[in-house]
Amino acid sequence: MKRLRAVSSVADAILLQRTASRSSRTLSTALHPRTPPTTTSKPHSLTPNPRAFAPSSLIQTTRHSSSTPSSNEVLQKTPLYDLHLAHGGKMVPFGGFHMPVQHTSLSVSASHHFTRSHASLFDVSHMVQHRFSGPGVNAFLERITPAGIAGLEAHKSTLSTLLWPVTGGIVDDTILTRLGPELFYVVTNAGCREKDLPYFKEQLEAFQKEGGAKVEWEVLEGWGLVALQGPLSAEILGRVMVEPAESELKEMYFGSSKYIKIKLLSGEVSSPLLVSRGGYTGEDGFEISIPESETVAVTETLLQSAGPEQLQLAGLGARDSLRLEAGMCLYGHDLDDSTTPVEAALSWVIGKDRRVGGGFHGADVILAQLKPKSKGGAGIDRRRIGLIVEGAPAREGAEIVNDKGEKIGNITSGCPSPTLGKHIAMGYIKDGFHKSGTDVEVVVRGKKRKAKVTKMPFVPSKYWKGAAPS
């Protein structure tokens, strides 16, 4: 077998899958290769925190230590690795894991359409699941993110960004879920693990050195995470819930979470599983956090109870085109350390109270950017935009030029849109050219292609926010 290399994009993953005869991953993942860190049972806090995330008998965690990763990358397997192979998963290295680009039952395009019309199940167990708890947790998260933590209710989630001190550059994008007054569930990108884990360690140490209250941090190593996405998701999940599902799920809106028990195929009942309504496709759906020992059983229960007519496994290929249609960023491509939330068109992640009080890393830079130059503020020189490109798909790195041929930006993600039948792309463009409807050109393989700045998402989102009034 050929030695597997780490891929740096989904496009690379698909190309690798096509060229290798039998190669053994999206709020949101970065795609830089990583090496799993050494872990120990030593927590980052000075005192242990009560196991409030779930009953203690159900929790098995690995607590991160400050050990330096080795230089040789070792690809990990998610709990669903064997299940992917059994379903004809075409596996490639992605974010430090063996992950499926697609499965033999559907092509990438067909899988994309199936998600939009029925439902798909994505293995996102490569993502890093964390638990932060303790009396200092609110202040700590308000220090490293611009999120409105104080106003976040229990079992509500918010997309946010981890920020570098001083510059306000984005370390990673993340989902923060409050589970209690002093307890948060946090998900970060697999490909950023090498950077994120030392970042959290250093930031916790600095926080406590400056007098911050105690915070405990645990990484839920080995846990499964699956994303059930598509218009049939609620029906499929409701069918296997132990408690009556209809009223519970109707009142569980986008950005909400709760613990749910699943009736497994064996007749047994699962542990309480943290289920969050949301996802990376723009469709209604749920992300389910599962202890490692139950991940296969829960996944097979969902698949078999729904049947292939309603639910199919899906891989990286469909996930990438779905997220791009939804206008979702991919860290390492659309976001990076040198980009602020304002430049990334993510100003909405900055809580209203934070715009007044600041207090987060890079606040001086970020809050000044919110006020445009025309109104006396610092403003920004570039911003993230969407594009519809004529003729050929524009891939990452392609230049955006004006009518004089002058470079005014670059593409960070692009692909043919299966839903629209058009070529869509995301990128950064010089301030002043960012307004929807602006005509520009994109240089694709040396040839200029007409393009138009377009609002995102490209395909309207269908998040469940309650029934429309009759």
140: β partners = none
pLDDT in tens, 132-183: 999 999 999 999 999 999 999 999 999 999 999 999 999 999 999 999 999 9
Structure token digits, residue 431: 């301030």
CA pair distance 451, 217, nearest whole angstrom: 46
What angle is formed at CA 144 by the lines to CA 66 and CA 159, rounded to 5 degrees? 110
CA pair distance 217, 221, nearest whole angstrom: 12
Q: Which amino acid is at 57?
A: S
Please, what is the angle between helix 295-306 and helix 233-240, to 10°? 110
The percent of residues in the chain predicted with pLDDT above 90, rounded, is 81
CA pair distance 278, 257, nearest whole angstrom: 9
DSSP structural state of residue 56: G
- Write the CB contacts of 110 (distance below 8 Å, at least 6 apart in sequence): none
In contact, 427 and 387? CB cutoff 8 Å = yes
pLDDT of residue 89: 98
Q: Which amino acid is at 414?
A: G
DSSP E strand boundaries for 30-147: 39-40, 63-64, 76-77, 90-94, 97-102, 120-123, 128-133
Burial 208-229 (b: 16+ CB within 10 A, else e): beeebebbbbbbbbbbbbbbbb
pLDDT interval class at 72 (50, 70, 90): low
Structure token digits, residue 277: 């309504």
- When computed from its CA atoms, the radius of gyration of the chain, rounded to whole angstroms, is 22
pLDDT in tens, 189-248: 999 999 999 999 999 999 999 999 999 999 999 999 999 999 999 999 999 999 877 678
Structure token digits, residue 417: 């849109």
In contact, 427 and 385? CB cutoff 8 Å = yes
